[in-house]
Amino acid sequence: MNAEFVNPFISGLLNVLETMAQTSLKPGKPMKKNTDIAKGDVSGLIGMVGPQVKGSLSITFDENLALTLMERMVGERPASVDAEVGDMVGEITNMICGNAKRELSEKGFDFGMATPMVVSGSQHTISHQVDGPKLIMPFNSDEGMAHLEICFDK
């Protein structure tokens, strides 16, 4: 998985959070994921199906970061990860993937996006079941961590 392919997802995440919630994330060092090390409290997941490849993407937030994003977007801070926070995370997931889909389509790489799913639960982990490369990318912020994972089957 080369940078040309991964960068549209990363820039999608940074742009979406900057635009929707005036929040800057600091990208950490990307890793090839071999174990399920990203733990978080709320995650958006989406499947991708293209003519040549299929894969999956997840974006996992610490609870505090998710609540702060919600607060910055709607002006009020929920007490915990509720259905509205879930919807926000689903929408962010859709936008990251849609952003990348547009950019990659211009480069001749096409895929269809499934509908997003949102998982809530303290300190859950996600394992992407692909044979191909798995990339995990940590992001830091004053409000907590986010982890973006992108995986394809070859």
Q: What's the farthest any 2 CA atoms get from each other in the chain?
A: 44
- The yes or no reply on residue 67 touching a copy of itself (CB under 8 A) is no
CB of 24 to a copy of itself, least distance (A): 26
The torsion angle over the Cα atoms of residues 88, 26, 139 and 61, rounded to 10 degrees, is -30
Contact criterion met (CB below 8 Å) for 48 and 111 = yes
**Candidate list 55, 95, 138, 141; residue touching a copy of itself; CB under 8 A:** 55
Please, which residues have CB within 8 angstroms of residue 1's CB and are 6 or more apart in sequence?
Answer: 132, 133, 135, 150, 152
According to the binding rule CB under 8 A, does residue 119 interact with a copy of itself?
yes
* Least Cβ distance, residue 82 to a copy of itself (angstroms): 10
Q: How far is the CB of 81 from a copy of itself (least distance, A)?
A: 10
Per CB under 8 A, does 8 bind a copy of itself?
no
Judged by CB under 8 A, the stretch of 15-23, 51-59, 102-110, 138-146 that binds a copy of itself is: 51-59
Task: Check residue 21 for interaction with a copy of itself (CB under 8 A).
Answer: no
What value, to the nearest 5°, has the Cα angle with vertex 11 and ends 66 and 95?
60
Partners of 152 in the β-ladder: 55
For the record, the structure tokens of 72 come out as 């910055």
Residues near a copy of itself, by CB under 8 A:
35-36, 43, 45-49, 54-56, 58, 83, 86-87, 90-91, 93-94, 112-130, 151-153
